[in-house]
A and B are shown apart, each in its own frame.
Chain A
Amino acid sequence: MLRERAPLWLKLLALAGGLCLYVPILTLMVHAFTKGTVGGQGIGLTFEWFAQAWQRPDVWAAFLVSLKVACIATLIALALGTLSAAAVARRRRWERNRVSWLIIIPILLPGFIVGVALKSVFDLASIPLGYWAIVIAHATICVAIVYSNAALSFRKDAALQGEASMDLGANSFQTFNHVIMPTIAPALLSGVLLAFAVSFNEVLITYFIAGQETTLPLWLLNTFTQADQTHVASAVATIIFLVTLLPVATACHLLFQSKR
């Protein structure tokens, strides 16, 4: 088939869009790895800011809080998201749509609305703000991500193949172990990885319910006001970016493989 070529103006506009996406992040990386300015004494490559961040106990504490919260929230989301996807897999289309939209509400609404709502729930129910409050909030938003990945795979592949397996005489457990699980595993894994990335980066809801706890994004937020800290903050932001990059890239890879 003859491939069409894009007109030049479209290419340029697309390129401009791409630059809008990437220039700020690249600036950040350059800032994290260099010292000096272009105009002044010249620019030099350095790992000094990463070394400084490494030695900071407050950065480590925040990093560990973020890591633990993300892991627990992701596990809860994995359970709830997979269960809901499995439950609706064989229901009618309008029922599935209704469930999808109920699950997706928390990520569709503005951050402050969800944050303030959860804060008043925790206040009235006298659940202390902090660690577990963050875990509950993150789990709730992460369900949407696990669900949307799992639902598609359940519906398209697992349902039909499961039926075939039962027709061929396998019992429910055999079908689950040998047919359904292997079929949905890549989708679940990519859901888990993306959910981890979202939880690790979440700040707009966390801000309201963190109490005394500091996650890594919240640490970054508190550091904005300190002008002498911008380089270390850039180093930390780069670390967050890289910690997110790996799971997201793996998840994308899995998604593309299953598409083929």
Chain B
Amino acid sequence: MEKLIITISSQTAAIKAQRLLESKRIRSRVVKLRPEKNERGCSHGVEVDAENLGKATVLLTENGIQYSGIAHM
């Protein structure tokens, strides 16, 4: 199963996002991004199955959780 990462610079926001997704039965986990994924340095994200990406990003937007992009691990 392909995995994608919804990038969120704040780890607190990433945990908030992960808990929201879990509450909606979307399997996810908080990850730390590799430095090459963010030119500004350390960043975090929520890893989801690629097939759930659309549903997950809609949920985050609806709940005011900002994300900065989508990345591959």
Q: Do A and B bind each other?
A: no
Interface residues of A, Cβ cutoff 8 Å to B? none
Interface residues of B, Cβ cutoff 8 Å to A? none
